Amino acid sequence: MDPFRRRTLELSPSRLVAAARSVLPFIAVLGVALGVHALLYRWQIDDGGVFFYSKILMDIGISIILAVSLTMVNGFTGQFSIGHAGFMAVGAYTGGVVTYYGAMKLFDPANFAAGYLSRSLPMDGPLFGAADGLFLAACLAAGLLAAGLGYLVGLPSLRLRGDYLAIVTLGFGEIVRVIIERSRNVLPDAEAAAKVPAAALPLHVGGASGFTGLQPFTSPFWVILLAGLTVVFAWRLKYSSLGRAMISIREDEIASQSMGVHVTRLKVMAFVVAAFFAGVAGCLYAHQTGIQLTPKDLAFQKSFDIVIMVVLGGMGSISGAVLAAAFVTALPEWLREPTSVWMYGLIALCVVAVFADRRLRAALWVVGLTAGAELLLTVARRAGIELSQYRMIIYALMLILVMIIRPQGLLGLNEVWEIGPFRRLRRTPVAPARGAAAPAGPGGSP
Amino acid sequence: MAEAGAMLEVRDLHVGYGAIRALHGVSISVQKGQIVTLIGCNGAGKSTTLRTISGLLKPTAGSITFEGRSIVGMPPHQIVRLGLAQSPEGRGVFANMTVDENLALGAAIRSDRDGIAADRERCLDLFPRLRERLRQNAGTMSGGEQQMLAMARALMARPKLLLLDEPSLGLAPQLVQTIFSIIREINARGTTILLVEQNATMALEVASYAYVLETGRIAMADSARVLERSDAVRKAYLGVG
């Protein structure tokens, strides 16, 4: 088959192939989520310590949803939003209201129990409880309400760009926080809830002291499933014509308009979709074990954490956002009990030696950074400094370093498989020109 | 020349940037199948005229009709849909995207995959250099190659009328020749072209009709052959006499 014909087939597969291609990743995600959930669930009977890892895993998963969704706004369309935690807060409280008051109104408390899918720790309960369904509904409601607000915030973004848009999104996050802080006390039981009209229930979410009494429905299953869905969605979006049009807005808005791209619609669409996933992440966050949901924790600081992940990973890179989300989330845990880093340095050195484009330069950076980190650790240990308290300073230093070494972030717009030797492998010769390839070309370059 | 049935008819166009008025009543008409050029100095309002036609700027007064339909106030993405594509000034390629992705974006308004694939082939035949660089990021190419890409990208929308904004800007003289021969070729294949140029010599050579723009007004309008020989144009724009 001649290359051009093959390329055409690749671009326009038959309906059946296209459908299978669309569904496959989702089935894979479901399988992985079930598998990991089952493994962790089993291990926790043997060793209580594993729960620590499943907790970190869930933290990372939630961060991945947040970072990947923000990538759609900041990375694809190039709008600088720093209010992502606002959408997360909206989702968290919406989800909380649905599970907390929904359980009171809809179910008999005696029968209401979390099923296998919504439990991180082995305990008594049915395989599939009513709670599973309610929790899923809560996540959906959280996403939809956040998406609605995303539409409202996306609208001014049509007129604003750069710093001005950043200020609007920042303001949005703060407005959400202040409104939640002004809410009334949580109603302790069904009896108290019965005295309040159903429509007023969302007003009782605990104010500044937090939404107490939420049940820990968030399990590795839900987190992996939803994080996986987010990544697959973002990935398919990025490589669709829609995603390409979004990225073209970031590259050059005027040229993009001249190509007939509906710039305003795509900008708002990016906001809405990103807000939806942030809302879902908020719902997962709210129902985590050991989390007290307070508006303070979902304020500017949180937004900034997410922005750091996106910038570190590379604006517009999904795999970069995933890696950075895992790194930034795991870092505080590591700082709490820092271990020596030379081992990681060695691994990084091996990776760099094989994959980097400019090996010597990259290797020197790795050696320098490892030595620097080791020095910092030693000094901190000698001086008795608790490093985890200086988390923000370390983030800031990391950002500055990244801006100096790699201003485009870890991966830039690329994905992991598009750099280094992967790219060299993928760079198959392009269909040759019919007739002579005309190496000099007419005129040559200036 | 402003007879009925013109493909593009611009009448008495007034455009301003805030308080500064850039165009004071520009009238242009483009017949189907022609190459019409708009020449003039820096700041004469050439690009402003093009940007207004493609909907990127809103006129304060005047009318623009394309194939009998008024397109004043229409958003740019709808104007592209009518068959009016622009290759923006300064090339405006998407630097961090590959040549292939740039071409795909040119067809952003289309969904006929077979047609797009065929047009992609046609564009690559027209600009063989782009074929060698399909997987390369557009920003890493030379200025001439970027210009070729910008033109090819605009052609991917399969426009009836192609608006070219300074295609020779910043290119080596030899390459300018190539670009203009391709412009002729595009026109010969049936695309009407409105060409904005500072390089009056080349523009008048390929065009059949020309307008000379001076400080936001049409100073002269005639067939390109006549203007080439006019003393005023030769002195002011062709650097002769």
Enumerate the β-bridge partners of residue B221: B211
In the 8-state DSSP scheme, what is residue A157? G
Show the tokens assigned to A323: 């890696």
Show the tokens assigned to B76: 């740019």
Q: What is the pLDDT of residue A438?
A: 38
Residue pointed to by tokens 């290797």:
A363
Span B140-172, pLDDT tens digits:
998 888 989 999 999 999 999 999 998 888 888
Instruction: Answer yes or no: do B88 and A444 touch at CB < 8 A.
Output: no
Question: Shortest Cα distance from A188 to chain B (angstroms)?
Answer: 54
- Average model confidence (pLDDT) across chain B: 88
In a domain, A169, yes or no: yes
Instruction: Answer yes or no: do B77 and A262 touch at CB < 8 A.
Output: yes
Those of residues 5-64 in B touching chain A at CB distance below 8 A are 54-56
Q: What is the pLDDT of residue B187?
A: 93
In a domain, A18, yes or no: no
CA dist., res. B162 & res. B164, Å (int): 6
Number of domains composing chain A: 1
CA dist., res. B128 & res. B172, Å (int): 18
List the single best residue of A6, A246, A258 to mutate versus B (max B Cβ within 10 A): A258
B76 in reach of chain A (CB within 8 A): yes
Q: What is the pLDDT of residue A425?
A: 54
Burial of A236 (C-beta count, 10 Å sphere; 0-12/13-18/19+): middle
Nearest CA in chain B to A435: B125
Residue among B106, B113, B178 minimizing CB distance to A12: B113
More confident residue, A355 or B177: B177
Overall residue count recorded for chain B in this entry: 241
Q: What is the pLDDT of residue A110?
A: 65
Show the tokens assigned to B47: 């690009």
Residue among B55, B94, B181 minimizing CB distance to A252: B94
The answer to whether the beta carbons of residues B208 and B224 sit under 8 Å apart is: yes
Residue pointed to by tokens 């407005």:
A175
Instruction: Answer yes or no: do A445 and B124 touch at CB < 8 A.
Output: no
Is it the case that residue B135 has pLDDT exceeding 60?
yes
Instruction: Answer yes or no: do B80 and A259 touch at CB < 8 A.
Output: yes
In a domain, A334, yes or no: no
Chain A neighbors of B75, CB-CB under 8 A: 262, 264
Question: Shortest Cα distance from A411 to chain B (angstroms)?
Answer: 13
Contacts 24+ apart (CB under 8 A), A202-210: A202/A93, A202/A94, A202/A97, A205/A93, A205/A96, A205/A97, A205/A180, A206/A293, A207/A180, A207/A181, A207/A182, A207/A183, A208/A181, A208/A294, A208/A295, A208/A296, A209/A294, A210/A292, A210/A293, A210/A294, A210/A295
Nearest CA in chain B to A439: B129
In a domain, A360, yes or no: no
Show the tokens assigned to A350: 């091996």
Alpha helices in A185-262 (DSSP H): 190-194, 220-238, 241-251, 253-258
Nearest CA in chain A to B171: A446
CA dist., res. A168 & res. A158, Å (int): 12
Chain A neighbors of B132, CB-CB under 8 A: 430, 433, 437, 439, 441
Residue pointed to by tokens 């455009």:
B15
Those of residues 113-132 in B touching chain A at CB distance below 8 A are 113-114, 117, 121, 124-125, 128-129, 131-132
Q: What is the pLDDT of residue A445?
A: 37
CA dihedral A240, B165, B201, B7 (to 10 degrees): 90
B2 in reach of chain A (CB within 8 A): no
Nearest CA in chain B to A446: B172
Backbone angles phi and psi of B221, in degrees to 5: -150, 125
- ipTM for the predicted complex comes to 0.81
Q: How far apart are the first and last CA of chain B?
A: 29
Residue among A259, A413, A427 minimizing CB distance to B105: A259
Instruction: Answer yes or no: do B121 and A4 touch at CB < 8 A.
Output: yes
Is it the case that residue B195 has pLDDT exceeding 90?
yes
Is this model's pTM higher than 0.90 or not? no
Burial of B211 (C-beta count, 10 Å sphere; 0-12/13-18/19+): buried
CA dist., res. B4 & res. A197, Å (int): 69
Span A361-371, pLDDT tens digits:
888 888 888 89
**Strands of the sheet with B217-223, listed across from one edge:** B84-87, B161-165, B192-197, B35-40, B209-214, B217-223
Q: What is the pLDDT of residue B184?
A: 93
CA dist., res. A379 & res. A381, Å (int): 5
Instruction: Answer yes or no: do A255 and B108 touch at CB < 8 A.
Output: no
List the single best residue of A5, A10, A259 to mutate versus B (max B Cβ within 10 A): A259
Chain B neighbors of A433, CB-CB under 8 A: 124-125, 128, 131-132
- Under-50 pLDDT residues of chain A: 427-446
Identify the contact set of chain A against chain B, taking CB-CB distances under 8 A: 4, 7-8, 11-12, 241, 244-245, 247-248, 251-252, 254-264, 412-413, 427, 430-431, 433-434, 437-439, 441-446
Q: Minimal CA–CA distance to A84: which of A162, A169, A176, A210?
A: A169
In a domain, A206, yes or no: yes
In a domain, A139, yes or no: yes
Span B9-26, pLDDT tens digits:
999 999 988 888 888 989
Instruction: Answer yes or no: do B93 and A255 touch at CB < 8 A.
Output: yes
Chain B neighbors of A419, CB-CB under 8 A: none
Instruction: Answer yes or no: do B96 and A413 touch at CB < 8 A.
Output: yes
In a domain, A366, yes or no: no
The answer to whether the beta carbons of residues A51 and A136 sit under 8 Å apart is: no
Residue among B77, B106, B121 minimizing CB distance to A257: B77
Q: Minimal CA–CA distance to B163: which of B26, B53, B67?
A: B53
CB pairs under 8 A between A and B: 127
Instruction: Answer yes or no: do B92 and A433 touch at CB < 8 A.
Output: no
Question: Shortest Cα distance from B27 to chain A (angstroms)?
Answer: 22
Instruction: Answer yes or no: do A258 and B81 touch at CB < 8 A.
Output: no
B96 in reach of chain A (CB within 8 A): yes
CA dist., res. A101 & res. A96, Å (int): 8
CA dist., res. A149 & res. A275, Å (int): 8
CA dist., res. A329 & res. A59, Å (int): 7
Tell me the residue range of the domain where A226 lies: 24-303
Give the other-Cβ count within 10 Å of A216's Cβ: 16
Those of residues 133-172 in B touching chain A at CB distance below 8 A are 134-135, 142-145, 150, 153-154, 157, 171-172
In a domain, A349, yes or no: no
* Cα A163 off chain centre by: 23
Nearest CA in chain A to B80: A260
Q: What is the pLDDT of residue A269?
A: 93
Burial of A161 (C-beta count, 10 Å sphere; 0-12/13-18/19+): middle
Mean pLDDT over B83-104 rounds to 86
- Helices B113-126 and B173-188: crossing angle in degrees, nearest 10, is 140
